[in-house]
Structures are given as C-alpha cells and as structure tokens.
Structure 1
Amino acid sequence: MTGKCPFSLEEEFEKFSSYSMTPDEAHDLIERARTECPVPYSRELGGFHVFMNYEDVRNGLLDFQTYASGPSVLRPYSEDMPVFPPSSFDPPEHGPWRKIFTGGVNVRTPGRIEPLVRADTIELIESFVEKGECDLHLDLAELIPMKAIFHVLGLEPELHDTLRKMNVELLAAVGEPEKFMELWVPFAEFGWKAVEKKKADPQDDYLSVLADADIDGRPLTPEEVGACVISLLTAGHGTTTAALTNLFYEVLRRPELKQRLIDNPEDIPLAVDEGLRLHHPFLGLYRMATKDVEVHGKTIKKGESVYMAWEAANRDPAVTENPLDFNIDRSGFQSLAWGLGKHSCVGRMTALMEQRVVMEELLARVPDIELTAPEKVKWDFHGAETQGFLELPARFTARPRRDS
C-alpha cells in the first residue's frame, strides 16, 4: 500500500467526519479505500489523517510517544474547552489521573454493582411486559448504563434525572465549543456539590474517591471534578447504550442465534464481544502527531491530527475472515474495541457485565421477543464520535407483570 490516493477517493475523504456523514457512508468510503488509499486526509474539523487498517490503528494506539492523546481525543478542539482525564492526558501526567479512575472503577466494580444492575434490568423489563411491545433503545438500552454509572458514582437517586439530562445536552454540544462551555459550567458545579457531600460521608463509590483524590498533593478543583464525572459518563453511558442496542439488533433478527443464547446463556459473552467488534460505539478517536512520521509513504507532520478508526480496524479483512458478518464463534482475533496500551478502557469488565446481565434477563423474561421493523432502523452519529440507533421497536407476547 502507498500513501498516494486516487483523486476520486482523495476528494471524497476531504469531507470525511462523523459530523458530515452517516455511519453507512463513512464505512462505505473506508471499505473502498483500504488498499488504494490507506492514510487519507480530511479537511473537516481542522483537518486530520485517517488510520483505518488494523495494523496502523493498533500501532498508533500503542505508540503514545508518537501519537499523543493530548490535548484532546475529540475534534473540533478549542483551548477554552476543559481537558477530560485520563483519556486526554499522556505519560507522565496520565498515570496519576488513571489511578484516580481505577480507584472508583476497577475489577471489584462489576461484582459490587451487578445485583443492582440486574434489579434495574428486571424492573425495566417488567414495566413494559404487559404492553406486548417496547422500544429496546429508549426503554432499556438507554437507561441501564446510566443507572449503572449512578451506582458507580454513588449518586443520590433524586439527582439521577438531573444528571442524565445535563449529560445528554453536554455531549450533544461537543461540536459547538461555545455552547459546550455554556453547559459545562453548571455541570461542573453539580459534580462539585455531589463530591462535597461525600467528604462528610464517604462510601465505596467513585464520588468518594474524587472527594479524597489529589494531584501532586493538592485536592482536585471543581473543574477537574466535573471533568472526571463527564469522562466517566462519556466512557460508560453512550458507549454501552450503543453497544446494547446494536447487540439487540444483531441477535434478535437471527432466530437461530437467539434460541442458542436462550438455551446456552453462557454464550452471551461471545455475542457481546462480536457486537462490539462489528459495531463499536465509537467510529474512532483522535491523536496528535508529536513528530514528523511516514506511514505508507505519506508524511504526517508534527502537530497534525490522526483519526484512529477503531471500528474500521476491527473490520479489516486482512486480519479476520468475512469481517462484515456477525459471527459469535469468531476466534484468533484481538479486537481493538477496548483500546490498547496506556489508554485501554478501565471500565471494560463493568460494561461487559452490564450487557451480559441485560441480555440474560431479556431472553429469559420475553423469549419470543422480535424486532418490529429492523429494516427501517438506521445507525447515526450522536456527537463525541458515538454512533448507534436512536430507536429499536420490538414486540412479544404480552403477559402479567411479575416482580422476580
């Protein structure tokens, strides 16, 4: 492969971004360009190169010395916008921030909150079983991850709706720096007040970790607390919501696969992994070159942005057979769904648990569930590089509600 693009592809890629295309359009362009145009350039969002093939993305994620996460993993970037830890920090600053996150989200977290996630899932499913229909995105996938984060945070129940609304509005404004900052101030204040309460009554939760946290011996500022809260919400809510909806879409339109998971729930984690490979909640995230570097004959200059297209990498036919098929028995493939190296996802085990629990309870409680009109739903981008469905209607045999 060489860095020189055919003119037609080069011209198409000049308009490439999650703010100017649909996911289907982006993937179509990527698949046509893999071999002929391996490192294309977009003029959108200040300009950026695109890594789309598996080895390029993998190497880029591991090489933080060449491809820095700072000043931000999102575009457009404004110096006035807050920096979100730990994803937008590089070593050595990255280490202390990641330690704060792993203090609140770690290997113990899934076990601590799984009973709560299961109870929430049962309550939501039972709330619509009498109707014989539901929207799996709005009635389940959008709610469970947010409730799970509230459990991780240790947020008081009466504040859940407020934080949910603020989070949705803030993420929708990522592409508009001025509006984002207008919404950011009250969000940071909200997070600070919640942390201040924990100082007087600490618990086994993330807000208590933030209340006791320090950077270089000083306590966190209100802005830093707000950034830590939004980082957790961004990483754990929209991503898991999209992953769940995508999983429902793939499983429920395959009756044989659905029955296999009903009969063998131990296979559900395989479906979760394959869903994340094929339909990642992020098309990709950004890095910045720290020096001039040549990739496939193309020079990327110091200070230029590089888009690491994770999902496209996971669909690379050079590393996995029939990559556009949904195959839960796929083997011998290391997915990039959780990132690699210094910035691998700290909440991986918690997100996997959430998806497993929701699918277990859904198939056990409404085993005849099917999608109402799968041909009418479509993927779309929703800000901050996230992608997924905004609706997924389903139907099933109505039955009386039960509480256990």
Structure 2
Amino acid sequence: MNIDIYSPDAYTTGIPHEQFKWLRDNDPIHWHAHPEGGGYWVVSRHADVITVSRDFKTFSAEQGFVLVDDLPGDILDMARNQLLGMDPPKHSPLRRAVITRFTSRRLEQLEPAIREIARGMMETARNIGEVNFVESLAGDLPTAVIGSLLDIPRDMWPQMRRWSDLQTSASDPDLGGTPEEVNNASIEMGTYGFQLACERKDSGADDLISLLINQEVEGESVSEAEFASLFVQIAVAGNETTRGLISSGMYELIQRPELYRQLEQNPDLIPGAVEEMLRWTCPLHYFRRTATADAEIAGQAIAQGDKVVMLYSAANFDERVFDNPMEFNIHRDSNPHLAFGHGIHLCLGANLARLEARIFLEEFFREFGGIELTGEPAFIRSNMVHGFKQMPVRLLPR
C-alpha cells in the first residue's frame, strides 16, 4: 500500500482508517518520508505508543518539540517552555503547579459556572435555529470556559480562538494563514500571556492566571516568561480538543438515533459515552518525540536524533486492545484510549474536557428535542488536529 499520512489532504474525509490498519498489521514502526527531506518513525500500535510515552528519557519532547515539522528557532525556544515540550526535571515542578489547580474539588466548584455558560449558549442557539454547530455551540463552550477561568476580557475571546486556530490548523485554507501569520500568532499569544502575568503578579485574585503566577512549588515560583508559554498551551488545548470532542461526538450520535435517545433518556450513560467519543474522534492525531540515544521499539532500531511520531488515532482503533474497534459503542466496558496521551504528558485538562462535554450533553438534551444535519460536515485539513470546521445543523427546541 502507498502510505501517505503526512499530507493534510489524507484527513479531509476523517481518520484514514485503511492506511492506519495496514500500518498496525504490516509495519507498526514505519519509516515515513518528510516532503522537506529526511523522515520520521510512525508508531501505530497501542502498546508501542505507550512504550514511547513512558520512556521520556529516551524519547524527548523537549529536543525538537512535539510537531513533526521542525519549528523556527525563536518559536522552538518559546515552545520548549510549554509543559508538553518539557522533559524532567524541568517538567515536574511546573506540572505540579498546574495540576494543583485542576483537582477534582476545583472542578466540582467550576461545574455551576460551566453549566451557566452552557445554558446561555443553548438559549442563544435556540433562538437562531440553524447554526454551524462547530462554531456556535461546540466551539463557544470551551472558549468561554477558558476565557472565564483565566479571567480574560470577553472582547478578547474571538482573538484567542483565532490565535489558536492559526497554530493548530495552519494547513487548512479556511482556518490557517501564511507561515509568517502562524509564527506571529504564537508570538502575539505568548506576549499577551506575559502581559496578563505581569498585571496579576501579587494581585491576590483567584482566577487561574493569578493562582499560577503567585504560587511556589519546591521553593520556586512560576515566572512571567514561563507562564507566557504555559498560557499558550492552556488556551490552545482548551479550545481545540474540547471543540473537536463535542462536535464529532454529536455527529456520531446524529448518525445513530437509537444511541442519541439512550443518552437523552439516561444521563448516567453520558460519562461512558464521552470516553467512547474521545476514543472515536481522537482530537489530536499525533505527538512527536526525538530519540536521545540509539534505541529499539518493537524490534525496530531507532537512531539517536530520529523523530518518532506516536499516532494516537491509529492506536485508538488497535484490534489488539479494543473489541470491535470500528463499532461506536457507548457501552464499552474497557476503554483505555489515548485521546489525552499517556505518561508524564497526559493532558492536564483531561478532566476539565470531560466535565465540559458531560455538561454540554446534559444541557443540550434539556434544551433541545432533536438535531438534524442540514448539510455534510467538513473536516479540518490537518495531519494533527482531528475535527470538523463546519457542521450545519437545525436545532429542534423542546
């Protein structure tokens, strides 16, 4: 089979399952050429993705960051200050600083505010009737939640989403921009985060920025520069992954009216359904690592300096782990999906995304008696981000 999973065009109709299955079955550690020269190893089986994820000493996030394309030097330096681009020991104190702000108790405290945001969005959409589900519902909730958590002025929320789209969907003609615009988006967003951190240093406020910038971990505080990079990660991840989860998950329910009605009538099934939506939609196709020494994965020799790509959206359909992986099953008992990654870089906002998706579905079923597609959805043209950019629907109020 001719394998090309680098081209963004391979993803314009969804996950390229045929190619991914061939890789898992025939070449699970596959050498893939890069159009600008050289190449990278593609790891497609669940067990091998976990192996790479756990071995952070051999497979570094920091050396070349997490994208398969090499970043310009100035952008790379800033990206390495994001948690997802750090290796221990630098990674550990900052992660602990953030994770203390995403405890179960903190999330419980956030639930009423998130529910109020969701209800306001539903009421607005109900009055319109026909909407692009991605922008008007699935995208608005995570933008509003992150904006509220960080206490960012509401008039900046659209700019935050635009910066985010430029960085994650640069290859899409509707969402992306020129290389210069993409690089500027990262710099501008980081600069804005730095300004916010400076403003809130020693402020005594209880928004997430103030809580992070004014605490100490292991005797060290988070600097304004460190927060600037962390800000980019929190804002981008908070927007992109939850938007993809909610919109793609709803699409699967629309295709299966019997499952839609089961969730509508039994909210207790929603948490399990969200896990299946995460496995099925997998908002990020991959992250990259760089080998720090000669190594081996599943018998394949890997040279020091080689790029290694963990293909989450292939691992999530591995027949060796999931029974009937091509069945969308909201009752799946065992669901060790990798939609949030694995190991020390497991997504910090994973439980926040789960909470947002659960509340969204609960409030959607309360507000609406049904939903109908009015046109075919369009996927983001990207080899990294998996999700719709358009999903035209008609909302049927109760």
Matched AA of 1:66:
T
Aligned residues: 385
* Alpha-carbon distance, 1:48 to partner: 0.9
Instruction: Choose the corresponding residue for 1:246, options 237, 245, 248.
Output: 248
Answering whether residue 153 of structure 2 is matched by residue 156 of structure 1, we say yes
* Alpha-carbon distance, 1:232 to partner: 0.5
Instruction: Choose the corresponding residue for 1:66, options 34, 47, 58.
Output: 58
Cα 1:332/1:222, change in 2 over 3 Å: closer
1:188-213 CA-partner distances (Å, limit 9, x unpaired): 22112212222253322221134225
Cα 1:128/1:296, change in 2 over 3 Å: closer
Cα 1:109/1:235, change in 2 over 3 Å: farther
Identity %: 28
Matched AA of 1:22:
Y
Gaps of 5+ in 1: 1-8, 400-404
- TM-score, normalised with respect to structure 2: 0.89
Matched AA of 1:56:
D
User: Which deviates further from its counterpart, 133-142 or 42-51?
Assistant: 42-51
Q: Name the Cα RMSD after superposition.
A: 2.5
Matched AA of 2:273:
A
Aligned-partner SS, 2:25: coil
Matched AA of 1:80:
D
Distance 1:155 1:364 in 2: 29
Which residue in the other structure is 2:308 paired with? 306
Distance 1:164 1:92 in 2: 32
Aligned runs of 1:172-321 on 2, under 5 Å? 172-173=169-170, 178-213=180-215, 222-321=224-323
Gaps of 5+ in 2: none
Matched AA of 2:396:
T
* Alpha-carbon distance, 1:164 to partner: 3.0
Aligned-partner SS, 1:369: strand
* Alpha-carbon distance, 1:362 to partner: 0.8
1:253-287 CA-partner distances (Å, limit 9, x unpaired): 21111111111011111111001011100111111
1:84-131 CA-partner distances (Å, limit 9, x unpaired): 421111111110221232243333332232212111111111112134
User: Which deviates further from its counterpart, 46-55 or 213-222?
Assistant: 213-222
Cα 1:368/1:167, change in 2 over 3 Å: closer
* Alpha-carbon distance, 1:349 to partner: 1.3
Answering whether residue 90 of structure 2 is matched by residue 93 of structure 1, we say yes
Aligned-partner SS, 1:387: coil
Aligned-partner SS, 1:285: strand
Answering whether residue 18 of structure 2 is matched by residue 41 of structure 1, we say no
1:150-181 CA-partner distances (Å, limit 9, x unpaired): 12212233433333333333444499765443
Cα 1:128/1:68, change in 2 over 3 Å: same
Instruction: Choose the corresponding residue for 2:361, options 359, 370, 378.
Output: 359
Which residue in the other structure is 2:387 paired with? 388
Aligned-partner SS, 2:238: helix
* Alpha-carbon distance, 1:215 to partner: 8.2
Distance 1:340 1:232 in 2: 18
* Alpha-carbon distance, 1:143 to partner: 0.8
Which residue in the other structure is 1:397 paired with? 396
Matched AA of 1:87:
L
User: Which deviates further from its counterpart, 62-71 or 135-144?
Assistant: 62-71
Aligned-partner SS, 1:80: helix
**Does the CA-based 8 Å contact 1:74-1:286 persist in structure 2?**
yes
**Does the CA-based 8 Å contact 2:378-2:391 persist in structure 1?**
no
Which residue in the other structure is 1:108 paired with? 105
Aligned runs of 1:307-386 on 2, under 5 Å? 307-373=309-375, 376-382=376-382, 385-386=384-385
Distance 1:173 1:240 in 2: 18
**Does the CA-based 8 Å contact 1:100-1:209 persist in structure 2?**
no
Aligned-partner SS, 1:367: strand
- TM-score, normalised with respect to structure 1: 0.87
* Alpha-carbon distance, 1:220 to partner: 5.0
Matched AA of 1:77:
D
Distance 2:9 2:304 in 1: 26
**Does the CA-based 8 Å contact 1:113-1:148 persist in structure 2?**
no
Matched AA of 1:265:
P
Which residue in the other structure is 2:20 paired with? 30
Aligned-partner SS, 1:203: coil
Distance 2:289 2:371 in 1: 42
* Alpha-carbon distance, 1:305 to partner: 0.7
Cα 1:115/1:34, change in 2 over 3 Å: same
Distance 2:102 2:155 in 1: 23
Aligned-partner SS, 1:130: helix
Cα 1:194/1:50, change in 2 over 3 Å: same
Aligned-partner SS, 2:341: coil
1:373-392 CA-partner distances (Å, limit 9, x unpaired): 4xx22433447x21111111
* Alpha-carbon distance, 1:33 to partner: 2.6
**Does the CA-based 8 Å contact 2:130-2:394 persist in structure 1?**
yes
Matched AA of 1:50:
V
Cα 1:18/1:104, change in 2 over 3 Å: farther
* Alpha-carbon distance, 1:147 to partner: 0.9
Distance 1:246 1:364 in 2: 20
Answering whether residue 71 of structure 2 is matched by residue 80 of structure 1, we say no
Instruction: Choose the corresponding residue for 2:8, options 19, 36, 52.
Output: 19
